[in-house]
């Protein structure tokens, strides 16, 4: 569904993404893992048409380059920030974003969208009165409201309680099972282990390794001096243990 071919993007002298190639198929959840400054958000921005690569190609299969507005209709983005209008209600938020995508969505469908993320009972409350977890769930509902073929989630469970986190993960898996391609960035190893079919570990603008959880752990997951194997060890082995800025 989504193909990135050798994409590069620099900001001044900083090469944020340096030749990333990645593929996300239908009904598949691909996780993009990496420390801060690895280039994950820049990769997501290029995958969703928010940023033009300096070189390389991005393609939403069957539709084309997401820099074209019509192609972006196929993409649902949940940015890392809680990008919501606090003065609107949850219901109004979904109506507004559905209209941006040109979707004629019935009132019932909006209510279903809110129900899916557990906000039906608070549909007519202003977003400003929602808790962090509720906002995060609404952030996801906005990405889903126009029924996209490709879902791009930038740290979708950052800063939420375990209940909301579990709920969000369940929704992601459900949509993938329904045929949606999902690209998700996260710092949460448990999340990656639970929801991702394949994982790409990224650092300093390049993908260091990618494969299934089992493949990565088998190849890179042994901790020094022990026999313990985990995704966290994979990440640390591939990206180093020094602190990042």
Partner 1 sequence: MIRPMIAIALKDLRLLARDRGALFFTILFPVIIAVLFGMVFGRMSTPGPLDVVVVVTQDGPLARSFAAALQADSALHVQVAANKQSGAEIVQQGHAAAVIILPEGFDDRAEALLSGGSMPLELFGDPSRAAELGLLEGKLMEIGFRQFMLAVTDSDRLRRQSAQIRRQLANDPNLHALEQTAVLKILAGAEELAAARKNEGEKKTATSVGGGMSDFRPVRIRTELLAHNQDDPPSTYAVTFPQGVVWGLAGCVMAFVTTLASERAQGTLTRLRAAPLSMHLILASKGMACVASSMIMQALLLVLAWAAFDVHPVNLAMLILAMTVNAISFTALAMMIAALFRSGAGTDGAGRALILVLAIVGGGSIPLVFMPPVLRSISVVSPFRWAIAAIEGPLWRGGSIADQFAAIGSVAIVGIVCAVISLGGMAKWRRGS
Phi, psi values for residue 142, rounded to 5°: -65, -40
Question: Judged by CB under 8 A, does residue 77 bind partner 1?
Answer: yes
Between 101 and 111, name the residue whose CB sits nearer to partner 1.
101
Q: Which is nearer to partner 1, 146 or 210 (CB)?
A: 146
Q: How far is the CB of 216 from partner 1 (least distance, A)?
A: 29
Q: Does the protein bind partner 1 through residue 92 (CB under 8 A)?
A: yes
Supply the minimum distance, in Å, between the C-beta of residue 231 and partner 1. 28
Candidate ranges 26-34, 91-99, 112-120, 223-231; the one touching partner 1 (CB under 8 A): 91-99
Order of strands across the sheet that contains 14-24: 14-24, 2-11, 55-60
Contact between 124 and partner 1 per CB under 8 A: no
Is there binding between residue 65 and partner 1 (CB under 8 A)?
no
Part of the chain binding partner 1 (CB under 8 A), chosen from 53-61, 76-84, 166-174, 187-195 = 76-84
Q: Counting Cβ atoms within 10 Å, is residue 88 exposed (0-12), middle (13-18) or buried (19+)?
A: middle
Q: Work out whether 142 is an interface residue with partner 1 (CB under 8 A).
A: yes
Select from 24, 46, 75, 153 the one that contacts partner 1 (CB under 8 A): 75
Cβ atoms of residues 117 and 171 within 8 Å: yes
Q: What is the C-alpha end-to-end distance of the chain, expressed in Å?
A: 34
* Cα dihedral 165→33→36→181 (10° resolution): -70
Q: What share of the chain is helix, strand, coil (3-state, %, to 5)?
A: 40, 25, 35
Size of the site for partner 1 (CB under 8 A): 29
Name the residue among 182, 199, 165, 169 with its Cα closest to residue 76.
182
Residues in contact with partner 1 by CB under 8 A are 48-51, 69-73, 75, 77, 79-85, 87-88, 92, 96-97, 99-102, 126, 142
């Amino acid at each position: 569904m989504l193909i990135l071919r050798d994409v590069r993007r620099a900001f001044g002298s900083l090469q944020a993404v340096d030749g990333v190639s990645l593929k996300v198929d239908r009904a598949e959840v691909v996780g993009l893992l990496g420390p801060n400054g690895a280039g994950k958000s820049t990769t997501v921005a290029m995958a969703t048409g928010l940023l033009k690569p300096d070189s390389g190609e991005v393609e939403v299969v069957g539709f084309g380059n997401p820099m074209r507005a019509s192609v972006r209709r196929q993409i649902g983005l949940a940015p890392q920030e809680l990008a919501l209008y606090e003065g609107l209600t949850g219901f109004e938020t979904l109506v507004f974003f559905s209209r941006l995508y040109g979707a004629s969505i019935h009132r019932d469908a909006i209510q279903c969208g809110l129900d899916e993320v557990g906000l039906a009972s608070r549909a007519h409350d202003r977003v400003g009165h929602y808790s962090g977890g509720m906002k995060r769930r609404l952030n996801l509902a906005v990405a889903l409201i126009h029924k996209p073929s490709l879902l791009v989630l930038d740290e979708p469970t950052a800063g939420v309680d375990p209940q909301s986190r579990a709920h969000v993960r369940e929704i992601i898996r459900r949509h993938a099972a329904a045929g949606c391609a999902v690209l998700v960035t996260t710092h949460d190893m448990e999340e990656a282990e639970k929801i991702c079919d394949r994982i790409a570990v990224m650092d300093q603008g390049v993908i260091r390794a990618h494969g299934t959880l089992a493949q990565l752990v088998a190849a890179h997951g042994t901790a020094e001096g022990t026999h313990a194997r985990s995704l966290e060890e994979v990440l640390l082995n591939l990206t180093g243990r020094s602190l990042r800025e």
